[in-house]
Structure 1
Amino acid sequence: MLKTFVYKAALFIILPLPFAFGLHHAITQGLLLSRNKYLGTWNDIRSSKIKSKIYISGSSRARVQFSTNIIDSMLHTNSYNLGMEGYQFSMQDYRLKMALKYNPKPKCIVQVLDFFSLHDRSDLFEYQQFLPYLSDSSIIGATQQYKGRFNWFQIHVPLYRYNSEAFLIKEGINNYIHQRPTVIEKINKNYAPQDKKWDGKFEEFKAAHPRGEFAIVDYKAKAKFLSFLMMCQAKNIKLILVYPPEYSEFQSIIRNRKEIIDLYTRYANDFNIPFLDYSNHPLSRSRRYFYNSQHLNKEGAEIFTQQFCRDLTTHLDSATLQSLIVSPNSK
């Protein structure tokens, strides 16, 4: 009796496994075709689709404020925006290294900075963007420092990682069946302009921090940043550090803001890197060009990108500028 029960129980457990593995494979392979906001850029990186001369690296302040259309048009080049929403330099550095691993080396990297670049968040933000790649040990390593990091079951048990992810399951299956993405986001090489007006949340933030706030500099992130500077130097990649405009009233809230800017300035001087600081740019004085205190809206981003391109030409020698030029068909 016991033997029969064990046999039936084993069949009940084992028989669905091929189906589970097959469905898991189909979802994952379908998501590798995705163009949604979580996966589009990672898929471009890992499928070696980025042939760009200029990388824009940074947080959401890179993603929503640096127009690849304008950069390509003004500099006659091919740029790609690697900006990651919600993550500071440590994760930005991982994405950049993956881009360099799978794609041709760019001529120039524009690293976008802000007051919290050298800190690190505690939680695994928008974890969905990593789910199809959990067979890659480097992804596991890059996410292990965050709360909510992936557990053994998510990594090894078929379908477990997609639990409660109905949107990704549906998209993955559709993509796999049709062998093309079913979700197309209207973004150009990860640039995601925000056609929004001032949202008013700054007043709430200001009221909640009457004494201001200190920007924390994490020593691990600082060490990674220094390693990044040395890597660009060793690989002969032209590096530009940029602090984009932020709303002027916000700047006084960060009590150690001057020390943060001074730190970036010192790094730039030590490595002989241009540091373009737009803290006092005229855009910073008008809410018209922002949708919140730290992010330019579409109108502001396009004005700023044009200014950035003009300034970039004054910080690059003629040989470097010439090396950035590509034919229109290769963009």
Structure 2
Amino acid sequence: MTSVKEFRVERAATPDELGRGRFVFTDAYSIFDWGRMPDAIPEKGRSLCAMGAHNFSLLEAEGIPTHYRGVVADGSVTDLEDADDAPREMAIDLAQVPDLPVEDGAYDYGAFHVDAGDNYLIPLEIVFRNSVPEGSSLRSRRDPEAVSLDAAEWPDESVELSEPVVEFSTKFEEQDRYLTRKEADAIAGRATLDELATLAREVNRVVTERAEEVGLTHEDGKIECLYHDGEVRVADVVGTFDENRFSYDGHELSKEVLRQYHKRTQSEWVAAVGEAKGEAAEGGKTDWRALCEPDPEPLAQDVIATASDLYTAGANAYLGRELFDAPDLNSAVAAAGALE
């Protein structure tokens, strides 16, 4: 389900009932769909858990249904506000996650939904964008006019959107791919794309408003959802520095910092990843990693420390609470900028 969160089942979901489980947020990180990278980022997991819990509370206050039940402190499920220390575990409701069969390089979503019934994790990611930075893949999929920009061509610089753009991509495939509305509708099963898009826009609104309150800019993000007995709920985790892109005073404040650092310092590995994905797609293969010969190199200790400070200082700012022993946000962002 995810490469950097561990998943624990307390009571399995059934065709009719939601189960119970927990996310354990590790300090691992993943970029470019690689899976776990060689290093751990201290306190990263706790910062994401705290931010996710805070956002779920904001969503529930707005009447937006979610799978969130609380954080785990001293072995018990409680509210984030009642936890004295930064939590690492989040209690959640569970939907079924049927196998997604692959035959001759094609994914069989029909078989997935036969097993899914009325209780399943929807095999889509719903992506929302408030801005389109230079290099965004959206530029290759849509013309500027399609996203209400008064321009015949995309400008070189990042552009702010007057209304968020919502797109759909795959969730369980080895290589994420963006989908047409027709493709996404077939993959969604009983859930409707209109309801999923509405939920994504509402989550985007709540996270964007919170970011603005604390001086951050919310650039884009995604949600995942479950379907149970006719209701769609927000699942996984939302509004963290891994799922979303934030910036502060024009500087990136998210996992994007690590992506860009690897592009600068391990460009051969990044290029090899792209080539392996392309080769796998052309050959109808799903395991692109087997085609990628080099592995990523570990980070220097000062880079790991800088990344840790960025996650924890950013979380403190977003939460409005000194939950982590971290430098102030200005210092953390300045240190990250020095890596460029």
TM-score by length of 1: 0.29
Q: Using CA pairs under 8 Å that are at least 6 residues apart, name the structure with larger relative contact order, 1 or 2.
A: 1
Which structure features the higher share of helix residues? Answer: 1
Which structure features the higher share of strand residues? Answer: 2
**Which structure's CA Rg is the greater one?**
1
TM-score by length of 2: 0.28
